[in-house]
Amino acid sequence: MSEKINSEPILPIRQIGEERWIKNLTSFLAYHDVEVISLGDENIFQKVEQDLGWLIPSQTKEYFLHFGGIESSDFMYNLKNIDEWEVLTNSIWEFVVMNFQPEETDNYIVFSESLSNDPICFKRYTGQVYLFSHDPIKVVKVYKNFNDYLLNEIIDLQKLY
């Protein structure tokens, strides 16, 4: 009789900011051969907020302060560097320009890309995470906040092993 291998993902954290979250996430990433690199300088937040005319949610700032320099092909691969974030209206996606009004796209900040290279955005004023899809053309809420985005990335990293 063979043993059943537990394939349930392990979440080293539940919330950014909870007790020991930095230590737990650092250990988890080290176990999965992801080098942890912090931003080191939190002054970048002020510049980005000023450039975007938007206040970055506190949990997102916390994550980037401690883990925002990570460059990994396995973890947060499509996450943009914080100084590369942009208002969706100013982005490169032609399908966005052709199918959505600037009044709508001005409400979104691009911080990542999906596996199919579509923009993943924060919605201004709520911090919710949305995907703008080119096939089919649609906009859909995919996470309630950056914390949920991070938890999904943690699960995806475990699927690689």
Give residue 4's pLDDT. 43
| Cα–Cα distance, 137 to 74 (Å, whole number) | 28
CB 89 within 8 A of CB 121: no
Alpha-carbon gap, residue 58 to 26, rounded angstroms = 19
Which helix (H) or strand (E) segment holds residue 146: the answer is helix 146-159
Q: Which residues of the chain have pLDDT under 50?
A: 1-4
What pLDDT is stored for residue 2 in this prediction?
A: 41
Helix (H, G, I), strand (E, B) or coil at 132: strand
Burial 81-119 (b: 16+ CB within 10 A, else e): ebeebbbbbebebeebeeebeeeebebbbbbbbeeeebb
